[in-house]
Amino acid sequence: MKRRDFIKSAGLGVAGAAVAAPAIAQSMPEIKWRMTSSFPKSLDTIYGASEVFVKAVAEATDNKFQIQLFAAGEIVPALQAADAVSAGTVEMCHTASYYYFGKDPTFAFATAVPFGLNSRMQTAWLQVGGGGELMNDFYKKYNIISFLAGNTGCQMGGWFRKEIKEPSDLNGLKMRIGGFAGQVMGKLGLVPQQLGAPDIYPALEKGTIDAAEWVGPYDDEKLGFNKVAKYYYYPGWWEGGPSLHNFVNIEKYNSLPPAYKSLIKTASALANETMQARYDAFNPAALKKLLAGGAELKGFSPAVMDACLKAANEVYAETTAKNASFKKVYDAMVAFRGDQYFWWQVAEASFDNFMIRSRTRS
């Protein structure tokens, strides 16, 4: 090619790029949103997932799509985050769906329900098994669309001032425990209390409550529960694999260009993966630290677990009989759970159980 022809061709290329530039600019407009979290900044795992999310969105758009993050209480209280999104006070929030159990128990499924799914099953159900579609269809009446944005893994059963040996030991106990699990425990005489993270320690310290559950060793150590309660129980059968979500106002979401809509989903997925990885990495050292500090690790007895399962099944039967939305999602989750544990017992559980047994011999 002659030099003159090359320059002409290059010039056409530059001109073509100049023509295309406005189209690119239009697909990446400057947008500023606000996002409220249901969690305090001190919890770098849960609150940190939102930080991962907003950073990913900003970086992918060269800071054209900026989402300002607010901790619980800075705009609205922790347990009113979804209400703020529904009303359009903020464009989005990061929260646990089961916090809104009081509006409709169907909210609980997107986070966790008693004796439900473990974390990988929960992710599989919401992402691939139809659970996400069922929940987003349910959320429409609240003007919300949801995106999976975190999982803690199986949680602990909580901190108790006294030992829990028999189901009768739960009778009259005031415990911070959320949503559906509180209703189940109520069958055994426990008095559930729903409190945001910042309010749990003062209530436990003052004796306003007798027990409290939050997440697991890493967060619990940060919140200092071991200083005001001695017995640390497991497992949190009401939260076998609880998911967190980004709730987005539907009108605001629909107003976004396609690239930004896609980015909300992919950045949420990054937050989901990061949170689970952090908990898995940080919990072992935190548990060792708690035990060294005097915490007594206790497993719920078979009698307590059996009584809780019986109570859970009673609540499920009562709720499905009067709530069609709940029944629709419950039936789907139970069918998925059955298939999952059919498979889980074959490879996953047998491998894990062998490795746990062999750990002391290696």
Q: At what angle do helices 258-292 and 46-60 cross, to 10 degrees?
A: 150
Q: E strands within 178-225?
A: 191-193, 211-212
Residue 229 amino acid letter: A
pLDDT in tens, 125-146: 999 999 999 999 999 999 999 9
Cross-strand pairs, 176: 193, 212
Q: At what angle do helices 131-139 and 119-127 cross, to 10 degrees?
A: 70
- Residue ranges of the chain assigned to CATH 3.40.190.170: 30-153+241-281
Local confidence pLDDT in tens for the 362 residues of the chain: 444 443 344 433 333 444 444 455 566 899 999 999 999 999 999 999 999 999 999 999 999 999 999 999 999 999 999 999 999 999 999 999 999 999 999 999 999 999 999 999 999 999 999 999 999 999 999 999 999 999 999 999 999 999 999 999 999 999 999 778 999 999 999 999 988 788 899 999 999 999 999 999 999 999 999 999 999 999 999 999 999 999 999 999 999 999 999 999 999 999 999 999 999 999 999 999 999 999 999 999 999 999 999 999 999 999 999 999 999 999 999 999 999 999 999 999 999 999 999 987 75
Residue 101 amino acid letter: F
> Which long-range contacts does 276-282 make (Cβ < 8 Å, 24+ apart)?
276/119, 276/150, 276/151, 276/152, 276/153, 278/44, 278/45, 278/48, 278/218, 279/45, 279/151, 279/152, 279/153, 279/215, 279/216, 279/218, 280/153, 282/45, 282/217, 282/218
Q: Are 144 and 85 in contact (CB under 8 A)?
A: yes
Cα–Cα distance list, 339 to 127, 145, 332, 335 (Å)? 16, 28, 11, 7
In a 13 Å sphere around the CA of 354, the CA atoms on its Cβ side amount to 7
Distance of CA 360 to the CA centre of its chain: 33
Cα–Cα distance list, 154 to 52, 200, 301 (Å)? 22, 20, 18
Class of domain 30-153+241-281: alpha beta
- Residue ranges of the chain assigned to CATH 3.40.190.10: 158-239+286-320
- Residue position matching structure tokens 């059968």: 237
Q: Are 84 and 74 in contact (CB under 8 A)?
A: no
Q: What is the pTM of this model?
A: 0.89
DSSP 227: G
Enter the CATH code of domain 158-239+286-320.
Answer: 3.40.190.10
